Amino acid sequence: MRRPAALLALTWAASPVAAESNGFEGHWANPKHTTIVNVMRCDRDNYCAVVLKASAKAQANARKGGTQHFIGTEILRVRPAGTGVFKGTAFDPESNLHVSATVRVLGPGQMEIRGCALLGLICESQRWSKVS
């Protein structure tokens, strides 16, 4: 009776969720390298990005927006929505807003995060790079 369990494990390993996460988990830096986050699975269906490091200026900007402790803050929560695409919410600490977000893994070590507020009327994109 071990075959069903092994088959289930192989099925999960080959599932789109497992395949889509390939290259997504890990440490990422924003365009100016002022913030570094760790992207990891935060539950069965979602991935989260938590701030690991931030420059003094990034921390000060977050405090101005109302986030007193920027390091350790979850700024992204997304779930797979297609090959290399994740959808969910992003937190902008400077404005203290949660906005809808789409993440696209563009290739090895590159992802684009697009956040939109006011029903998609105001959007902003950033390219983040993977760091070791």
pTM of the model: 0.80
Measure the CA–CA gap between 47 and 37, rounded to whole angstroms: 12
Which residue is listed with tokens 């090959």? 83
Domains annotated on the chain, with CATH: 2-131 (2.40.128.520)
CA distances from 83 to 23, 59, 108 (A): 12, 33, 14
CA count, 13 A, side-chain hemisphere, 89: 9
Measure the CA–CA gap between 89 and 112, rounded to whole angstroms: 14
Instruction: For the chain, 132 residues long, give each residue's pLDDT as a single digit of tens.
Output: 443 333 333 333 333 444 344 689 999 999 999 999 999 999 999 999 999 999 999 999 999 999 999 999 999 999 999 999 999 999 999 889 999 999 999 988 999 999 998 877 889 999 999 998
CB neighbour list of residue 69: distance below 8 Å, 6 or more residues apart: none
